[in-house]
């Protein structure tokens, strides 16, 4: 275990916000975390905040508590039959590295999630999703350690309550109470590509690959290219991916507030009564695409992504976020909410 004080969080958040943490602890595995909580919780500066690569966080101030970082990258095959495999992965494994490893091993299902920043632990908390696939559908169970008493607890798939950008780990009741230490994925040994999200088939065709003979590696490479064309690289321009969630509204609200004035407005069916709207489109209609406010900006290729144009503080990003939220509400009567976690 490694414990440090008064540490810059710049390497630990993709937004590039330059704040400090009172304490940062890197632990090796679940046993070490459990012992740390059981034996020394009283002496740690609080609150405890478990983070991965900090790709979905916005630090608003110096953090007065203890940041916990997981170093565990163990992979263990728990079970395998002719078509499926159960693989337990340490929460500290970089998700994209695991996806690459899985494809090499012939474990399929995660290809469309290629190049999403963050670690395996966060994949379960956020229920990361892209290009028509959500990771929750492939999560068998999530192993945790209680941050209150150090005890272990496993949440089975159904207990995780996965839905769009949501899991029980984001709920009022559970949020911040557990550290995810490993995720068990149920992956397929047969490659069944998901190609129906807008743009994938065209991008494959542009590479001279047909849907019938695409390989998992080609699909991964294609997804990486599509993402790379739209999303800014956090190493170059600080950002946390999609800043807002896409709002889910009733068909009635969509027709009355949006379609009546914009007959071409995009929407995706969500259930029989609701549609999901691309927040990127709503933000673009409000004139924010490519615009800046102070040291915060709206990305020019994908307006759902807010960026640090250089030296921004959390409050700069929040000021832009608040203004965009208000403009979208004023124009469309639809509220959009950040997917990024604000840390005070």
Q: Is 175 one of the annotated active-site residues of the chain?
A: no
Give the CB-nearest residue to ligand EPU: 241
Query: In a 10 Å sphere around its CB, with 0-12 CB exposed, 13-18 middle and 19+ buried, how is residue 202 labelled?
Result: exposed
Contact residues: ligand EPU, CB under 6 A: 130-131, 197-198, 230-231, 241-242, 245-246, 266, 278, 280-281, 284, 289, 302-304, 339
Q: Is the dihedral of CA 103, 166, 312, 295 positive or negative?
A: positive
Least separation, in Å, of the C-beta of 268 and ligand EPU?
A: 8
What radius of gyration, in Å, describes the C-alpha atoms of the chain? 21
- Quick one: 88 or 220, whose CB is closer to ligand EPU? 220
Q: Please tell me which residue in 32, 134, 313, 339 is annotated as part of the active site.
A: 339
Strand partners, 154: 143
111, 165, 220, 313: the catalytic one is 165
Q: Of 89 and 223, which has the nearer Cβ to ligand EPU?
A: 223
Taking the least distance from each CB to ligand EPU, the nearer of 24 and 286 is 286
Which is nearer to ligand EPU, 21 or 58 (by Cβ)? Answer: 58
Nearer Cβ to ligand EPU, position 64 or 230?
A: 230
Q: Which residues pair with 184 in a beta bridge?
A: 88, 141
Helix axes of 95-105 and 216-230: crossing angle, nearest 10 degrees: 160
Tokens of 143: 């192993």
Catalytic residue among 123, 141, 242, 267: 242
What span, in angstroms and rounded, lies between the C-alpha atoms of 284 and 278?
10
Distance in Å, CB of 197 to ligand EPU, minimum: 6
Is 227 catalytic? The answer is no
CB of 79 to ligand EPU, least distance (A): 30
Minimum distance, C-beta of residue 130 to ligand EPU, in the bound complex (Å): 4
CA atoms within 13 Å, Cβ hemisphere of 118? 24
Q: Got the DSSP string for 13-72? A: -TT----EEEEEEEE-SHHHHHHHHHHHGGGS-S-EEEESS-TTEEE-S-EEEEEEEE--
Q: Is 173 an annotated catalytic residue?
A: no
CB of 145 to ligand EPU, least distance (A): 26
Q: How far is the CB of 304 from ligand EPU (least distance, A)?
A: 5
User: Concatenated DSSP letters for 66-110?
Assistant: EEEEE----EEEEEE-SSEEEEEEETTSBHHHHHHHHHHHT-BS-
Which DSSP symbol is given to 304? T
Contact 307, 299 (CB under 8 A): yes
Of 44 and 286, CB closest to ligand EPU: 286
Enumerate the active-site residues. 165, 242, 339
């Amino acid at each position: 275990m490694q414990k440090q004080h008064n540490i810059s969080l710049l390497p630990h958040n993709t937004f590039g916000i330059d704040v400090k943490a009172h304490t940062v602890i890197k632990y090796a595995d679940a046993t070490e975390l459990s012992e740390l909580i059981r034996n020394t919780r009283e002496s740690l500066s609080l609150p405890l905040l478990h983070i991965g690569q900090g790709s979905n966080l916005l630090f608003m101030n110096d953090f007065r508590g203890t940041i916990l970082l997981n170093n565990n990258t163990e992979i263990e095959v728990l079970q395998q039959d002719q078509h499926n495999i159960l693989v337990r992965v340490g929460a500290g494994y970089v998700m994209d590295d695991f996806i690459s490893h899985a494809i090499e091993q012939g474990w399929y299902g995660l290809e469309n999630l290629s190049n999403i920043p963050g670690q395996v632990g966060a994949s379960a908390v956020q229920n990361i999703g892209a290009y028509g696939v959500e990771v929750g559908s492939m999560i068998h169970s999530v192993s945790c350690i209680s941050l209150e008493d150090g005890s272990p607890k496993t949440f089975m798939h159904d207990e995780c309550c996965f839905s769009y950008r949501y899991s029980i780990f984001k709920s009022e009741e559970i949020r911040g109470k557990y550290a995810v230490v490993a995720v068990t994925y149920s992956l397929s040994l047969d490659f069944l590509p998901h190609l129906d999200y807008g743009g994938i088939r065209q991008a494959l065709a542009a590479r001279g690959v047909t849907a019938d003979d695409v390989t998992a590696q080609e699909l991964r490479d294609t997804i990486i290219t599509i993402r790379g064309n739209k999303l800014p690289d956090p190493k170059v321009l600080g950002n946390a991916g999609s800043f807002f969630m896409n709002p889910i509204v009733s068909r009635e609200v969509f027709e009355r507030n949006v379609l009546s004035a914009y007959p071409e407005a995009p929407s995706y069916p969500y259930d029989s009564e609701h549609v999901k709207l691309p927040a990127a489109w709503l933000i673009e209609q409000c004139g924010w695409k490519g615009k800046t406010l102070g040291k915060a900006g709206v990305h020019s290729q994908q307006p759902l992504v807010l960026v640090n144009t250089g030296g921004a503080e959390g409050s700069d990003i929040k000021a832009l976020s608040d203004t965009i939220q208000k403009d979208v509400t004023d124009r469309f009567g639809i509220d959009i909410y950040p997917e990024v976690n604000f840390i005070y």
